[in-house]
A and B are shown apart, each in its own frame.
Chain A
């Protein structure tokens, strides 16, 4: 059995080793020699501070209790890193440009360098991280107890110390280490190369330890096959029925947000990043690291459940399995791995949080309450910053211990971590809005984060005290003051959800809704708009801040400020660079606006954007006034540009409208002219018979002495002319109705041959009367076409009677033939008359056109062919004049043949 003394000595020795690595790492990078420390792989390994003792111990516990659920904690960040191009790259670039130091600084900087938001975010982070710190304390405490055992012999110095006392000792030790590690100096960019080196080292240690235990378990268990088979026989559930339920989704979402919202992850991934191209490696190497960490979790959990006695704490399987097999060396190594993962988390988290506390809470207070000259001794601000950070670290670990103490009855690790995840996830909507939504406003973001925090505190944080506080338990059961709809785990009566899903849903939903609706209802200040543009367009713009500090400032005042915050060395170097650029000695330096805003960014790197802004505003006179001026000028320019663009657009629209009008006008004129021509033709056609009728009726009226024969002749002429008139008007009406498509038209399957036969029959009387022979040779037999039989007959009669009437040959003959070919039915009506002159071929289908070469004895209005052609078109057929080479006229009708007799009606 390992003794507690040995275990504690090993732990302290290990921390000493980490400290040495950090110390030499810092020295190397200060000398500029630490090239290796800036490699993408060290960067990737340091990101693995994400894998804390929650991963090392808790994931096995989670796998034993809830199956595959633990994987969600690593798949969410995998998605984030696979999609690094879209979010992480943006964050890193913005943070470099704006010298962002923390997640609070990011939000404050984006939303108009607001101190209030920064304070809010810092306070929330402090409270939300407390459970997470408590988790580490609990894991370290439990692991010491597990490995040192409960026997009197092995407890050594631990004899008589209970769990809480041990945790307090661990917290105190961690505080000391963190202060030693992280607060030795204030760096301009808040980068800690030494700490990063130590974290990278411990990343390798914890991975090796976990993999070693995993391989050992697989070996002892006789391979994966037998581990799972034995577990199944022992009644362990190895298939989880509902891995992919709502908890799966919610945990992925939480882990996705945690990888960037957790202060330590933001610190390591964004602030400590020294080269954007390192992201390329991290994009695959970090997911690979998490994959390797998760690989053996399930086998360890399953084997633990099978081999360990019932009631053993699954969170400690990683330690207890090697111990139970008697491998104390491996157990000690595993202990170091778990201890290492807890230590690194606490160190980085405390450093990140202490930076937030000192920059966003302590500094603004000092700036407000202590007069500028109060800390006149050169390094005053630097020392103040360091001291406030030391104090913050103690506060953070104190809060963690307090949470541990109050909730020490609950035993699983993972649920505690998820409470923290849910808390910091409240920053996600605002971060997303900061990166992608220009309209998001400070008031909405502040309200959103506050609302999310309150809902989280009520529905997720408070319930964790259920076991230690009867008051909380009562509220859980009945709601505060008996308000049932405010029960923390059934808000607004939303019952039956998993508590985690419930808390995440309500907090993030109300948070996002407040942000979205609030932003639409509020207006942004000038500075907010500037910052919003810088953030959203980070890759489009040059990335430099606006040079808005137009007011004047004495170089001495500026130097004094810079010296206070950055220390002598850096302040002098910045001023010397500027002096060299201006070509003066730096005593006679004239601070340009560019220089002032560059200085502001440098200061922001140390004390946060909001504090830096306040500090410089004090020194630079008229700074804020000129900012408003600049914004106004920018706005006016913008408006002028928009106005002129609008004018241009409007005039272009006008031009195109005018063009369209001209075209329409031209068309109208043409139509109008056609109408006029038609009308004059109609009047002319109507006038001829009317004149005749009038003349004859006047003769009849005036001359009573006419004999009966003459009277009869005149009256019959009047009758004939009025018949012609009626026919003419009928035809005009018919044609115009056809052209407008007004007539009810019914094409139905009919036999075209039958119609043709009938038409020939009708015309034969006229032909006999005129002495014209009708020859119908070569007929098609039967041809089913879709047509209106009356209309088709009208066309055929018109053609045949034309052939009969206008035939002036010596031996007049009209020949009718028909045949079907390739699905068309063709009828040809030809005669041996004078034919149609070449010049007239195009005109004979026009309205009122009558052949010129033929005798004047024609009747009819010249509408017959026009109507016939219109009818044929309506039956999907054609009427055309076939070239005959002067040998009479030949008209051809073609109609599509229907496939079968039952074919549907054609349209």
Chain B
């Protein structure tokens, strides 16, 4: 399960790069408007919002962190 979640996280990271970079981004560079706003603007903000959503869903599911061992030996650090 841990491996799958980590793979998903990696995939999401790679997807975030691919989606905002050409050539995929070229697909949405139209001279047209949606709700009054140019399509590429809508596209970028949609991808952005999607990334926020996926990141929120994924981040809390990723395996818990063991507290860093450096913290327990420093007295009242």
B63 to chain A, nearest CB (A): 10
Within 8 Å CB of A298, what residues of B?
37, 41
Q: Is the interface of A mostly helix, strand, loop or mixed?
A: helix
Residues A288 and B75 in contact, CB atoms below 8 Å apart = no
Which residue in chain B gives the minimum CB-CB distance to A72? B20
Residues B10 and A86 in contact, CB atoms below 8 Å apart = yes
User: Which B41-69 residues have C-beta < 8 A from chain A?
Assistant: 41, 44-45, 48-49, 51-56, 59-60, 62, 64-65, 67-69
Residues B35 and A225 in contact, CB atoms below 8 Å apart = yes
Residues B13 and A244 in contact, CB atoms below 8 Å apart = no
Residues A96 and B9 in contact, CB atoms below 8 Å apart = no
Within 8 Å CB of B44, what residues of A?
68, 71, 75
Residues B38 and A228 in contact, CB atoms below 8 Å apart = yes
Within 8 Å CB of A85, what residues of B?
6, 9-10, 62
How far apart are the CA atoms of A605 and B75 in the complex, in Å?
13
Within 8 Å CB of A577, what residues of B?
75
A779 to chain B, nearest CB (A): 68
- Given the interface pairs A85-B6, A291-B45, A543-B68, the reply to whether A243 lies near B51 with Cβ below 8 Å is no
Within 8 Å CB of A93, what residues of B?
68
Q: B36: which of A223, A240, A248 is its contact (CB, 8 Å)?
A: A223
Within 8 Å CB of A99, what residues of B?
70
Within 8 Å CB of B53, what residues of A?
284
User: Which A94-132 residues have C-beta < 8 A from chain B?
Assistant: 96-99
Q: Chain B: interface residue count, which band? A: 35 or more
With an 8 A cutoff between CB atoms, is A52 at the interface? Answer: no
How far apart are the CA atoms of A71 and B25 in the complex, in Å?
13
Residues B12 and A284 in contact, CB atoms below 8 Å apart = no
Which residue in chain A gives the minimum CB-CB distance to B26? A244
A219 to chain B, nearest CB (A): 14
Within 8 Å CB of B38, what residues of A?
228, 238-239
Which residue in chain B gives the minimum CB-CB distance to A71? B44
User: Which A259-307 residues have C-beta < 8 A from chain B?
Assistant: 276-277, 279-281, 283-285, 287-288, 291, 295, 298
With an 8 A cutoff between CB atoms, is A188 at the interface? Answer: yes
Q: Chain A: interface residue count, which band? A: 35 or more
Selecting from A76-84, A513-521, A831-839, the interface stretch reads A76-84
Within 8 Å CB of B51, what residues of A?
78, 82, 287
Within 8 Å CB of A544, what residues of B?
69-70, 73
With an 8 A cutoff between CB atoms, is A602 at the interface? Answer: yes
With an 8 A cutoff between CB atoms, is A626 at the interface? Answer: no
A216 to chain B, nearest CB (A): 18
How far apart are the CA atoms of A181 and B41 in the complex, in Å?
40
Query: Which residues of A does B touch, CB under 8 Å?
Result: 68, 71, 75, 78-79, 81-86, 89, 93, 96-99, 188-189, 223-229, 238-240, 243-244, 248-249, 252, 276-277, 279-281, 283-285, 287-288, 291, 295, 298, 542-544, 570, 573-574, 576-577, 598, 601-602, 605
Query: Which residues of B does A touch, CB under 8 Å?
Result: 6, 9-10, 12-13, 16-17, 20-22, 25-26, 29, 31, 33, 35-38, 40-41, 44-45, 48-49, 51-56, 59-60, 62, 64-65, 67-71, 73-77
Q: A225-B36, A244-B25, A570-B76 are in contact. List 12 more A-B contacts (CB 8 A).
A: A81-B55, A82-B13, A82-B55, A188-B74, A223-B36, A228-B36, A238-B38, A248-B22, A249-B21, A544-B69, A544-B70, A574-B74
